[in-house]
Structures are given as structure tokens and as C-alpha cells.
Structure 1
Amino acid sequence: MADTLHLSADPVDLTAALVDVPSVSGDEADLADLVERSLREQAPHLEVVRSGNAVLARTTLGRERRVVLAGHLDTVPINDNMPSRREGDVLHGCGTVDMKGGDAVMLNLAATAVDPRYDLTFVFYDCEEVEATRNGLGRVERELAEWLAGDLAIVCEPSNASIEAGCQGTMRVEVRTTGVRAHTARGWMGVNAIHAVGEALRRLESYEARVVEIDGCTYREGLQAVKIAGGVAGNVVPDACVLTVNHRFAPDRSPADAEAHLREVFDGFDVVVTDVAAGALPGLSSPVARELVAATGGKPPVGKLGWTDVARFAALGMPAVNFGPGDPTLAHTQQENVPVGQITTCLEVLRRFLT
């Protein structure tokens, strides 16, 4: 492993250097050490702090507004896709898309944007790819909350170098049915809980999801059965069945609204919420967000069809967008790769916006 990263170098080379340092969730220490050391050595204009395996850096120039840029350092487990390799205009390797290309853009800006028109905060955090309770942003919010404050947050997750504004919320519920056990030879003496869930499945089959437009961005809701569990033995009428349903809801719904909607859809069934995360409104009407859109050359933003950490920033009361290189559909795949032009485009847009 290199002793330092060349932060002001070609961001494509910097991406490759980051990819070549393994940082599977929970094992980010080596990369966090490298990022921290490089920032302290090459960006003396920044205040740098460490929180676990998260590294934070910021300017204190007294600007009227502050922009927060965030990116996670961890990746999913390596799948025979390291070290990085470049084939023409495409860089391959674990993390090229999710999201070391975005981290490279942030690191280059941290080192070279020495006189920005906004104060800047850079957050490189750990454990994004695992359960939410381990997400480094949560720890930073608890321990260093003031470091996450700003007028706009840009999460450099892969977005094909387009602005993806806000994000959908997500909720999982269990639709539970009960019955009475009996021997299948005398099935009329029992009540089949698996059969009872059929009505819930029919409602899902006929469900028409909303399509919502907010700030010019389209959000498509969804309601899908993702798991069904039930049964006792091959000769027993089952007395319990659980249907797990995932709801992706537009950010104009609160979690309470989403729950009320699902209870209406499954009226008459026992419904238990097992997981929920609020969405994030796009916030594109804020002055700083409008300036970011202008820096892209007016390329229309799109709604984020999924949940990302922009929701954490939105919960802190600030508009937040996703903007980073790479096709998100390639994230977590063995074929993960990023067009190098998207890395340079993201850097150019953000530099134009910030400086």
C-alpha cells in the first residue's frame, strides 16, 4: 500500500489508487488512515478530524453558506475484481462505482479548492454497505453533529454524473395470517393460514402505484411482496403465515403516511412494521441547489429511485442530492466499472459550482 495518495493528481488515477486499497465494510482502517494522512499532508488549509474509521475535513473561511460533500469509504466484499484495471476509457474494479470514483472527486477538490465561494465540509465515512446501525454517519451525527451542518449536502454516490435529487422512503411490513392446525387427511377440520394470505397477494397484484412529480423530478412508488413463510410439515394444515412486503414511497409521504397507506391496502389483516426509513424531498428550490443545477449546464435533475444517505442530511433540515460517477445498476456486481469520462465530468461540474 502506498504511503500517501496524490490528491491533486488525475482523479482517474486517484480512483484506481483508492480501489487498490481493500476496504470491505468493517475493515476500512487502512484506507481511512491513508485518507487522513494524505489530507493532513496535502491540504493544510483544512481542519481534519477522525471519528472511528471516518475522516472529516473542512474549511473555516467565514463564507455565508456551507456545502457538505459526503462519500463512504467501504465496499461490498471483493468478488475477484481487484486490483483495478483500465481498459481504454473504462476503469474496472471493486468500488469503482460504489463509490471510490466519488471519493476521488471529493479528495481532489479537498486538496485543490483552496479558495471556494462556499465553506466546504468533506465527510469520508465507514460502514455504509451494512446495517444502518453501523453507518458511520450515524456516529458522526452523535459525536460531531456540527460537522454535518450546511446549506446543501452532495452525496457523491453513483448517479451517471447526473443530479439525482432527494430519495424515496422505504418501509417493510409483515402481513400475518393465523389458522388452525389439522391433519391434511382431515383438512376441513383446520383453517389454512397460507390460503388466507391469498387475498393479500391479490391486492398486491392489482395495486396501482403512484407516480409523483416534485420540483420537476418524478418518483415512482412501488409495493412488492418479497418473502412468504409458512408451513409446519408435509401433512399438517398450517396455522401461521407471514408475507413480507416492501414499499418504496415518494418523499411527499412521511413514514406515518406510508404506514397508514399500507394499513389501508391490507385492511383486515394483521400488519406489523419491521423496518422504515424516511425519504428526502429534492429541495431544488433552495438557492445553493439551483446554483449546482446551473453548474451542470442546466441538465435536468431526476428523482432518486431508491434510498441513500441524502435522507440523513434531509432529516437535519438541509436539501441534499446524489451526484457522482458510475452507473448505480453496476454497484455490487463483479463487473463493476466506471467510464473515466464520468469521473472527470463530476470533478469539472463540482469545481465550477464550488469555485
Structure 2
Amino acid sequence: MNELDELAAELVSIPSHDDETAAGERIADWLDAETAASVRIDEAGNVIARRGSGDRSLALVGHHDVVPPDESQVASETLDGADEYVVERRDGRLHGRGSADMKGAVAAAMLAFRDADPSGELVFASFAGEEQGGVGAQAAIESGFCPEYAVVGEGSTGYSAPGVTDVAVAHKGRRASTVRASGQSAHASNPSEGENAIYRACDAVDELRALDVPTVEVAGEELSGSLVATEVEGGTAWNVVPDACEVTVDERTVPGERAPIERVESISGVGVEIEQDLPPMRCGDDAFAETVLDAAAEAQDAAPELVTKPHATDAGWLSQAGTTCVVCGPAEPGEAHTEDESVSLAVLERCYELYRGVAERWPAV
């Protein structure tokens, strides 16, 4: 085993679905011991380290929280009596909760942060709460975290072709809304005496289905939004005209325009509430994207491409705050959040070389 393999496996073994404290402390301790950087853990549990100086700053960004593990991914009996995540190496891959999303990439970024010889300020950031909607990233931004550039280590491998680590220059966001329709209850034998909230909710759904969702072109790809009603709840009994009905709406947003979902409020008794709004991301600096692409090409035999991702990441929050971002990491589509989550050890090594390469060449942009 090499240093990256060992560090990634250690991070994966540390439970961080309920409480990220132990994982964050281990990352901070390693950075303190292995680098001369200024290292701190903020009130949100984010680990932020800085080294070098200059007018321009580049951040290598990840997160150390994970989604809850499958039972098979937890070893409940260990020598110290504490739960640990199961870590296995099979067929050149590291298996365990968080290996793909995204402690493997965090380990690669930690080593690159230590080993690179940057010409400006190099920042390492591992956020807490990414799986809860980016609460760590938002807290850091509110406290002034805003590097000029960032490489976010979420998955970008296998997009242009199997096994190729590409550079994502845009991704979709997610807006979750609840459409609430109110009416007046009545006995179902005299429906005209009431106002049927389900009917009003159906009218709102018809309005949503008629909306045009925005589409943008990025890196030669068409990135299209979507708008889907995913849940309906209403009514109390078979013989009562319902006075309330709710419809859950999942919307995938793209950089720029949004679908005008507020139009449903033109229907009597209907309102809409935004429950979550994860911002999309688009890299607005072609030179920076090409610099990262060059580093990606140098780190592998294949020819990587500029691509787009369908999933929201912390790059959306950073981009919204003014940081120029790309997403580049080892995870492949379908690897994260599964009971057999894993990441290629060879691709982790590739990402280490990639991150180090970007850190040493980015001021050229």
C-alpha cells in the first residue's frame, strides 16, 4: 500500500454520517503534522488550510461527511468498542462508505496540497454538511471564504468515456418546492358546498406541466432543466371534500434562467414554498478550465474532455459567491451512495497528480 491508499482507507473507516467531528479532526491533525500550513476547524466543522502567498488563490475542495451507510458497511465490534466503517480492497478498488463520495478525493487533495509548489496562495477545504444541502460550504462563505479559483473533487470520471477523468465545467442545481392548495371542506354528497383543494392542486400541476424549462449550451453539450411533480398528499376521508392538498415538486435548474413556478399562485387558493434551492454551477473562465484540462490530460493516457454534470455540488455555492469553479474527481456515475460504494485506487493516484498539476500551473490563467 502507498501513502494515498493508506490515507484514503483511514478516512473512509471513520464514521461521519451523523457526526463529522472525528473525520474533520483527523484531517486537520494530518495537515498540521504534514504541512507548514495554517490549519483550522471552524464552528461548522469545516477544515480549512492555507499555504503560500500571492494575489491569486486556488482551493482544492471536498467534503468529509457521508450519507448513512448500509448495515454491511459498518463493523459494530472493534477493539475499542466503537463503530467503524468496513474498508476493503478488491480488484484494485477501495470499498467503503464515502470512498467515492468523497473521502478518496479528499485524501488525494490533502497529499497534493502538501506536495505542490504553488506560485500563489493554495487553499485546502473539506466541508461538513454537504449531504445536508451544503450547510458547511454556506457557513464558510458567510464567514468570508471566497478563493478566486477552486477545483471541487466530486466525481467527473467516466463521463466522456469509461475510465476517463474529465473536467466538469457546469452542473445542474436542484430546487425543491411544495405547492399548497387550500379549499373548503364539505360532505361529498354536496360537493358544490365546498371548494375541492385536490382540484385546485390538479390545476396547479397542469400549470407546471405547461411551463418551458430552461436549456443552456455548455462545452458543446445541451444542459436541460426538468420539473416533476413527485408526491401528492391530500384528503381525509372518502366522503369529505378535501380542504387541503400538497404537491411536492422536484426541479433541476441550469445556470441562468429559472422556470417561473410562481405562476401557480394565480390559481385561487394555491401558493408555493421553496424548501431547498441548491444552485447550479458554470465555469466562466475558459482559460482556467483549459488549465485544469491540461493537467488532467497530463495525468492520464486518455484524452479527457470538458463535460457537464447532472448533480448539484458545493461548487454551486462557491460559484454563486464569486469563486470560479470546475469539478474534477475520481468517482464514476453510479458509484456513490450504494451498498457497494468503491473507488479506483489507480484513479485516486491520477487525481493526486491532477490536483498537484493544477496547483503548480494555475497562475498561468
User: TM-score normalised by the shorter chain: which range applies?
Assistant: 0.7 to 0.9
Give the Cα separation in 2 of the matches to 1:176 and 1:18. Answer: 43
Match in the other structure for 2:272: 272
> Quick check: 1:221 aligned with 2:225?
yes
Name the aligned partner's letter for residue 12 of structure 1. D
Contact 1:167-1:279 within 8 A present in 2 as well: no
TM-score computed with the length of structure 2 as normaliser:
0.82
**1:225 shift after superposition:** 0.5
Match in the other structure for 1:154: 151
Match in the other structure for 1:129: 131
CA RMSD of aligned residues (A): 2.5
Match in the other structure for 1:30: 22
Identity of aligned residues (%): 28
**1:236 shift after superposition:** 0.8
Give the Cα separation in 1 of the matches to 2:156 and 2:200. Answer: 42
Match in the other structure for 2:78: none
> In the alignment, which of 324, 330, 334 is matched to residue 329 of structure 2?
324
> Quick check: 1:103 aligned with 2:106?
yes
Match in the other structure for 2:173: 169
Give the Cα separation in 1 of the matches to 2:182 and 2:242. Answer: 8
**1:117 shift after superposition:** 3.6
**1:18 shift after superposition:** 0.9
Give the Cα separation in 2 of the matches to 1:197 and 1:125. Answer: 39
Name the aligned partner's letter for residue 24 of structure 1. H
Q: Map residues 132-211 of structure 1 onto 2, 5 A cutoff.
A: 132=134, 135-143=135-143, 145=144, 148-160=145-157, 161-205=165-209, 209-211=213-215
Match in the other structure for 1:243: 247
Deviates more, 1:157-166 or 1:314-323: 157-166
Contact 2:215-2:222 within 8 A present in 1 as well: yes
The C-alpha deviation readout for 1:62-105, integer Å capped at 9, x for no partner, is: 3x422111111111222221311011122211001111011111
Deviates more, 1:218-227 or 1:267-276: 267-276
Runs (5+) with no aligned partner, structure 1: 1-5
The C-alpha deviation readout for 1:116-175, integer Å capped at 9, x for no partner, is: 24421001222222255xx222332334x2xx3322111112222322223323323333
In structure 2, relative to structure 1, the CA distance for the partners of 1:194 and 1:353 (3 Å cut) is: same
Contact 1:72-1:99 within 8 A present in 2 as well: yes
Give the Cα separation in 2 of the matches to 1:279 and 1:140. Answer: 16
> In the alignment, which of 8, 11, 17 is matched to residue 4 of structure 2?
11
Name the aligned partner's letter for residue 131 of structure 2. E
Give the Cα separation in 2 of the matches to 1:329 and 1:266. Answer: 37
Contact 2:167-2:289 within 8 A present in 1 as well: no
Contact 1:165-1:217 within 8 A present in 2 as well: no
Deviates more, 1:319-328 or 1:87-96: 319-328
**1:237 shift after superposition:** 1.3
Contact 1:168-1:279 within 8 A present in 2 as well: yes
TM-score computed with the length of structure 1 as normaliser:
0.85
Give the total of aligned pairs. 334
SS in 2 for 1:324: coil
The C-alpha deviation readout for 1:186-234, integer Å capped at 9, x for no partner, is: 3344332213333333455565544320353432200010221110223
Match in the other structure for 2:236: 232
Match in the other structure for 1:90: 93
User: Which runs of 4 or more aligned residues in structure 1 lie more than 6 Å from their structure 2 counterparts after TM superposition?
Assistant: none
In structure 2, relative to structure 1, the CA distance for the partners of 1:18 and 1:212 (3 Å cut) is: same
Give the Cα separation in 1 of the matches to 2:179 and 2:274. Answer: 11
Give the Cα separation in 1 of the matches to 2:15 and 2:281. Answer: 34
The C-alpha deviation readout for 1:318-346, integer Å capped at 9, x for no partner, is: 21122111125332221211122221221
